[in-house]
């Protein structure tokens, strides 16, 4: 049967449920990207959910391929755990389902791109976190995933280019690109003059972990205690705060509020804030990571203050998204300065607002399509020769 006319149909693959109210970046990202494909006008066949749901979707797609349906490309979002452990009970009930499907896609000359989320398993910290018995299961399964990726994936997307140095084996640089998280630009309505009025305390927002030594917020708490024109909202997981609140108790003042919300409930926190704090200690693994919350802040046109020496710091510096500090003393000096001169905050917020349009989830979808289009041309040429 002759192939059908070109279409804008694509396949979105993710070995797990896609949830709109995710508590972590690894849950938020697939949901936002899948919506991004729909919003960009693509006809999307989603292979998501647990194994039984994915199998039904795969069977439909294979039947469509047999009838001559053509797909522009397949984009896959890998999990941070091995593919074989993505069922609710973590048992490998579908050991070849996904990779056999990706092999079929490759054989059909459909370009295949994959976002490789996580190489934490390659670091010493993973050995410390997980006992040997657990690693004896997970590490071989990570290698199993990687073996398949090397054989079926055309283009590898990474959170940042810096992660490439830590891949399990070498991968051609021409077939790698960075695909950090995106944002949802919210517009100008929250950039009010009154929001940056000096008569109002400068409101800082921190969203994320609080567990030292990696996430040690004491310098931030100390700044707020010392500078009377600062107010701090810390949003973290409840169980983490219960565990570590005594560590911070002596620094908590009446201008510090700790809350525990996630998903859409974060919106009001972003809207009320003046500056977003993304602070942590140096860490070999996290230095090339790109947090989803960084881009959430960009979407709300929040200037960002972050720690030097990280991928986030590089983005903030290169794109004029805020300020980079190298020490607690620099942090204290900066916060004192911008609390006294709100024009500095307003100017940075305007710069972040402009950047948000180039950092949207839809722009990430366009980047995926642009990269995979190169392989699309090649595969069509190969099909013509055959």
Read off the pLDDT of residues 139-196 as tens digits, 9 standing for 90 and up.
999 999 999 999 999 999 999 999 999 999 999 999 999 999 999 998 655 555 445 5
Residue 134 CA to residue 321 CA, distance in Å, equals: 41
User: Model pTM greater than 0.85?
Assistant: yes
Residues 152, 298 within the same domain: no
Residues 143, 271 within the same domain: no
Q: pLDDT digit string (tens) for 74-95?
A: 999 999 999 999 999 999 999 9
**Any domain includes 316:** yes
Q: Give the total number of structural domains in the chain.
A: 2
Residues 18, 61 within the same domain: yes
**Any domain includes 188:** no
Residues 133, 18 within the same domain: yes
Residue 90 maps to which CATH number? 3.40.50.2000
**Any domain includes 304:** yes
Residues 152, 256 within the same domain: no
Which of 114-118, 185-189, 208-212 has the weakest average pLDDT?
Answer: 185-189
Q: pLDDT digit string (tens) for 25-73?
A: 678 899 999 999 999 999 999 999 999 999 999 999 999 999 999 999 9
Task: List the 74-77 sheet strands across, edge first.
Answer: 43-47, 9-13, 74-77, 112-115, 155-158, 176-178
Helix or strand holding residue 47 (H, E): strand 43-47
Residues 120, 225 within the same domain: no
Which tokens is 90 given? 């973590």
**318 Cβ contact list (under 8 Å, min separation 6):** none
Residues 373, 345 within the same domain: no
Q: CB burial class (10 A; 0-12, 13-18, 19+) of residue 328? A: middle
**Domain that residue 114 falls in:** 9-182+360-385
The residue ranges of DSSP E strands in 53-126, in sequence order, are 74-77, 112-115
């Amino acid at each position: 049967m002759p192939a059908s006319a070109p279409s804008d149909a694509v396949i979105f693959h993710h070995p797990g449920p896609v949830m709109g109210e995710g508590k972590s970046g690894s849950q938020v990202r697939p949901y936002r990207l899948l919506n991004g494909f729909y919003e960009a006008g693509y006809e999307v066949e989603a292979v998501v959910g647990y194994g039984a749901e994915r199998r039904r979707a795969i069977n439909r797609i294979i039947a469509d391929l047999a009838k001559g349906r053509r797909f522009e490309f397949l984009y896959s979002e890998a999990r941070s755990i091995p593919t074989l452990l993505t069922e609710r009970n973590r048992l490998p009930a579908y050991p070849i389902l996904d990779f056999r499907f990706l092999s079929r896609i490759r054989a059909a000359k459909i370009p295949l791109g994959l976002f490789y989320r996580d190489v934490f398993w390659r670091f010493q910290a993973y050995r410390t976190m997980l006992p040997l018995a657990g690693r004896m299961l997970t590490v071989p399964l990570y290698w199993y995933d990687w073996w398949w990726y090397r054989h079926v994936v055309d283009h590898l997307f990474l959170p940042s280019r810096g992660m490439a140095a830590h891949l399990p084996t070498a991968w051609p640089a021409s077939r790698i690109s960075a695909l950090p998280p995106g944002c949802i630009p919210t517009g100008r309505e929250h950039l009010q003059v009154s929001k940056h009025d000096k008569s109002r305390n400068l409101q800082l927002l921190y969203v994320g972990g609080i567990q030292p030594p990696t996430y040690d917020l004491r310098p931030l708490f100390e700044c707020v205690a010392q500078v009377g024109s600062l107010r701090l909202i810390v949003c973290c997981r409840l169980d983490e705060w219960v565990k570590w609140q005594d560590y911070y108790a002596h620094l908590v003042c009446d201008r510090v509020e700790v809350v525990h919300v996630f998903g859409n409930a974060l919106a009001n926190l972003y809207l009320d804030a003046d500056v977003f704090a993304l602070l942590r200690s140096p860490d070999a693994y996290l230095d090339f990571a790109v947090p989803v919350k960084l881009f959430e802040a960009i979407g709300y046109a929040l200037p960002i203050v972050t720690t030097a020496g990280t991928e986030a710091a590089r983005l903030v510096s290169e794109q004029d998204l805020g300020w980079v500090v190298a020490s607690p003393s620099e942090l204290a000096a900066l916060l004192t300065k911008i609390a006294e001169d709100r024009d500095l905050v307003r100017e940075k917020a305007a710069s972040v607002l402009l950047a948000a349009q180039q950092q949207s989830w839809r722009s990430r979808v366009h980047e995926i399509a642009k990269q995979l289009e190169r392989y699309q041309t090649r595969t069509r040429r190969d099909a013509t020769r055959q």
